[in-house]
A and B are shown apart, each in its own frame.
Chain A
Amino acid sequence: MTQDHNGAFVEFDRVQKTYDGETLVVKDLNLKIGKGEFLTMLGPSGSGKTTCLMMLAGFETATQGDIRLAGKPINAVPPHKRGIGMVFQNYALFPHMTVGENLSFPLEVRSLPKSERESKIKRALDMVQMGDFINRRPSQLSGGQQQRIALARALVFEPELVLMDEPLGALDKQLREHMQFEIKHLHESLGITVVYVTHDQGEALTMSDRVAVFDDGRIQQLAPPDELYESPQNSFVAQFIGENNKLPGTIEEISDGKAKVRLDSGELIDATAVNVTSKGQRTVVSIRPERVEYRPELLPAGAQTIPAEVLEFIYMGDIFRTRLKVAGSDEFVIKSRNTQGQARLKPGEKIQIGWAPQDARALDAL
């Protein structure tokens, strides 16, 4: 939970990685992870997140730069001497061993006496509520149970750092959400440091202390989940995390972090300047669908309003999703909760929508 970046437990220092000697899959990575932190590497496939995890585990070598663990460079330390626990997407439970033998493996490698091994295995299995399954084979377990055993196996030798490579990717939605909380609780109760790789943004937001959003071999933004969602620093992050309405335009005026943007359709709107700097620059104004209001009486003071036409109304149970035509864009979406008496908009209806200027963020044009 510590945010102390100076006493970093894991540190990537100007790390680069290339496989073919031509293109860098990881470009100049600098990342400090505090002790006890739950850090998630989030990004689309091919963004370099898994490569970073594998470099930390020691299965890939950094082409350049240092990786430090507890202050010591580990570039030259072979993976089996790093003492890092690891959970894999396909669980990687050894099919020819029972659950107990699987858990015993890291302890045998460490030459622990039998009695100590047994007590540790029991404790680890109880931790994931799988104590009764010690004599089963992995093939006799369900996906969720295998996941718990993989977790127990990564924790049984009490590593200080545990890496997880899309560990919940193969589970169905409900089980995945359940396991997210279990992993989170384990992390909190054990005080271990976790580096977690996923491409599922919901998972990243739910579980992490901080999230590093990867794209194109770089960290696009490193921030706690709420900051990441509410204050994305560039168009990629805004688009990758959650849903996002994009209105392209040009900066007309910029000062004090506020900007006036002339949309391509002609309207002039107020926005918060995020990573735009000068007048005349192309920009994309990003607005979250749930921050848009169409009922005049609920608009905040000083709200920006703009005319819109209802194109489509979708009933999704807990929320309504309405697609609008706004400033020339057919893809403008607003979300409203399905509360008592909430009006349902009809296609063809002409309305005024609005939002607080701080919710409209002028970002770089992709």
Chain B
Amino acid sequence: MCADVTAATGGPAEAGSSSLKARLRKAEAKKRRGAFMLTLPLLIFVTVMFLVPLVGMIWLSVANTTIPEYMPKTVSALSTWDGKELPPEKAYAAVAEDLQAAFKVRKFGVIAKNLNEQMPGTLGLINKTSFRTGRLKTAPANWKDELTKIDKKWGEMPIWTLLKRQSASWTPDYYLAAVDMERGPDGSIQAVPPYQRIYVKLFIRTAWMSTLITVLTLLLGYPLAYWISRMPDNKANLMMIAVLLPFWTSLLVRITSWIVLLQSHGVVNSILVGSGAVSDANRPQLINNELGTIIVMTQVLLPFMVLPLYSTMKSIPDSYMRAAISMGAHPWRAFWRVFAPLTVSGIGAGVLLVFILSIGYYITPELVGGQSGQFISNRIAYNVQQSLNWGLAAALGTILTAVTLILFLLYGMITGKGKVTIG
């Protein structure tokens, strides 16, 4: 019988063995195609709505299109200039012709604004030169003399250095501005005057307030997660619903409730004054400052700390602690030596999650942060909506995205590693 079986299966298997791999590949390819088709709509959506704008934003943070677009002759004339002394006559002629052209289509303002961002005072120079050259009926014999006559700045180095620099189609200047640096008149990199320094301070404030918020959520979330994880399942589910309840409430509603609670004539202050703990004149400022941002963001982000902690703790059976205690360890010691080390991956996950979310937060600091509780994202929004300096906004956003990305990779490493050790 055994011989029969071998004979029966041996033939076809041998005959088909050459195409077996090919058939497997074909079958797998079909499966892969199916899976790909299922994810295709999402893929298209993510590409169009997320990846393209992201790449666009990164491009915007280094893009420098104004001068190459509106002063093409200047760009080509300066391409061979070494920048050591004043450029030759043909560069003067190129500038004049470019400005004349821009004057005709009323675009010299764009050039003026772009250059003025780099070197204050240039606005007047460009406007004046555009008007004067634009009205000339005939070209003068010597553009250099003509321009220097219009404004003697054309006879000095800084404007030419600036034009040369701005001729490049990309620029690191937005990044310099994002870290409170600028170009000096000679093109060297230097710090902006102290009163203009805001971004480094904001980055640092965003980082330390996010750290503080993360620590607070950990301090509040760890005991809570521990307590819930030691409950019987039905009660634990109920408690988790309570933890997740904020997710089902609009963020704006929650923030508004906090404003009601914390404002100077709000619930908390009224209770403090009513109970005599503080006098009416000395109502503490609980909102529209750093404190407000910290209080509200801690509450808003708490679930993101509790969830990973809870899921880690849930996987630690009671018997670990019991075993440690039965061996003579005081419950505290058992906790520190046995339970706490096993929750490290949960702590790492929760801390990084809250910190990542925190450094990018916008709406909460905007509504309850006042002046001192602003985050970097509020400044990005300002540059997008008010000052319309999209390049700077893009540079700030790219820096924030890069930091987040690094933290996220760290998060992946920690949770990935955690799975291996716990499992």
User: Which residues of A are at the interface with B, using a C-beta cutoff of 8 A?
Assistant: 57, 59, 79-86, 88-90, 92, 94-96, 105-106, 109-110, 139, 153-154, 157, 163
Contact = CB atoms under 8 A, between A and B. Distances in A.
B317 A96 contact: no
Given A94-B338, A95-B421, A96-B342, A80 B326 contact: yes
B323 A88 contact: yes
Contacts of A95: 342, 421-422
Contact of A80 (B317, B320, B328, B338): B328
A92 B328 contact: no
Nearest to A80: B325
Contacts of A81: 328
Contact of B323 (A82, A86, A139, A157): A86
A105 B326 contact: no
A284 B337 CA distance: 56
Contact of A94 (B320, B331, B423): B320
Nearest to B420: A139
A92 B319 CA distance: 6
A88 B329 contact: no
Given A59-B322, A92-B317, A109-B333, A83 B328 contact: yes
A105 B334 CA distance: 10
15 contacts: A57-B322, A59-B325, A80-B330, A85-B327, A90-B319, A94-B324, A94-B338, A94-B342, A95-B342, A95-B422, A105-B327, A109-B328, A109-B333, A110-B328, A154-B327
B341 interface: yes
A106 B327 contact: yes
Given A95-B421, A95-B422, A105-B337, A80 B329 contact: yes
Nearest to A165: B319
For A83, A105, A110, the residue with the greatest tally of chain B CB atoms inside 10 Å of its CB is A105
A105 B421 CA distance: 20
Contact of B421 (A84, A96, A153): A96
A57 B338 contact: no
A157 B328 contact: yes
Given A95-B422, A105-B329, 8 more contacts: A80-B331, A82-B326, A85-B327, A86-B323, A86-B327, A92-B320, A94-B320, A106-B329
Contacts of B328: 80-81, 83, 106, 109-110, 157
Contacts of A105: 324, 327, 329, 337
Given A92-B319, A95-B422, A86 B326 contact: yes
Contacts of B330: 80
B327 A79 contact: no
B215 to A, nearest CB: 24
B342 A79 contact: no
A95 B325 CA distance: 16
Contacts of B327: 80, 85-86, 105-106, 109, 153-154, 157
Contacts of A82: 326
A84 B326 contact: yes
Nearest to A83: B328
A96 B336 CA distance: 12
B326 A79 contact: yes
B317 A109 contact: no
Nearest to A137: B421
Q: How large is the interface on B (under 10, 10 to 19, 20 to 34, 35 or more residues)?
A: 20 to 34
Nearest to A54: B322
Nearest to A87: B323
B346 to A, nearest CB: 13
A57 B326 CA distance: 7
B141 to A, nearest CB: 86
B414 to A, nearest CB: 15
A96 B422 CA distance: 8
A32 B323 CA distance: 25
Interface string B88-114: 000000000000000000000000000
Contact of A109 (B319, B329, B422): B329
Interface in B327-366: 327-331, 333-334, 337-338, 341-342
B323 A79 contact: no
B331 A92 contact: no
B410 to A, nearest CB: 21
A362 B150 CA distance: 128
A35 to B, nearest CB: 20
Interface in B366-423: 421-423
A95 B338 CA distance: 9
Nearest to B333: A109
Interface in B248-304: none
B420 to A, nearest CB: 9
Contacts of B324: 94, 105
Nearest to A86: B326
Contacts of A92: 317, 319-320, 322-323
A19 to B, nearest CB: 11
B319 A88 contact: yes
B328 to A, nearest CB: 4
A83 B329 CA distance: 10
A88 B327 CA distance: 12
B341 A88 contact: no
A159 to B, nearest CB: 9
B57 to A, nearest CB: 43
A106 B328 CA distance: 6
Contacts of A94: 320, 323-324, 338, 342
A237 B90 CA distance: 113
Contacts of A80: 325-331, 334
Interface in B195-213: none
A96 B323 CA distance: 14
Contacts of B423: 139
Contacts of B337: 105
Contacts of B331: 80
Contacts of A57: 322, 326
A256 B73 CA distance: 129
Contacts of A90: 317, 319
A112 to B, nearest CB: 11
B124 to A, nearest CB: 70
A57 B324 CA distance: 12
A82 B325 CA distance: 10
Contacts of A109: 327-329, 333
A94 to B, nearest CB: 5
A79 to B, nearest CB: 5
A85 B327 CA distance: 6
A110 B330 CA distance: 11
For A79, A80, A106, the residue with the greatest tally of chain B CB atoms inside 10 Å of its CB is A80
Contacts of B317: 90, 92
Contacts of B320: 92, 94
Contacts of A157: 327-328
A83 B327 CA distance: 7
A86 B326 CA distance: 6
Interface in B308-324: 317, 319-320, 322-324
A2 to B, nearest CB: 25
A79 B325 contact: yes
Contacts of A96: 341-342, 421
